Amino acid sequence: MYLPLPDCLTIKESGIHGLGLFATKTIMVGKDLGITHHFILDEVIRTPLGGFYNHSYEANCYTEVYKSHARLVTKKTIQEGEELTAFYKMFPLDKCSTTK
């Protein structure tokens, strides 16, 4: 069965911008939350997971970028009710130094 978000996340109003991703229970450090973007030819297709996390310079997650997709991973333990954030910016995919 397809689920647009892991069961440990929900979408609600963010104090950062618009809507955001929030933990519904404690999420441990290093947890791979799933695919945020698919890269198909010159297109970037954002998944529901990729559409709702907000930017922060003090992020609690990071985006791990591969040739065909990107994944959201926690870089610290996230408490129930905490918003998930990642440091991100728009850049050409072929210039990404973290591509695997």
Answer yes or no: is 41 within a domain: yes
Instruction: Please state, as a whole number, how many other Cβ atoms lie within 10 Å of the Cβ of residue 48.
Output: 14
Does the model's pTM come out above 0.85? no
Domain that holds residue 19: 9-88
Encode pLDDT of 54-67 as tens digits. 989 999 999 999 98
**Tally of domains in the chain:** 1
Answer yes or no: is 46 within a domain: yes
Encode pLDDT of 4-33 as tens digits. 888 999 999 998 989 999 999 999 999 999
| CATH code, domain with 63 | 2.170.270.10
Answer yes or no: is 97 within a domain: no
Answer yes or no: is 95 within a domain: no
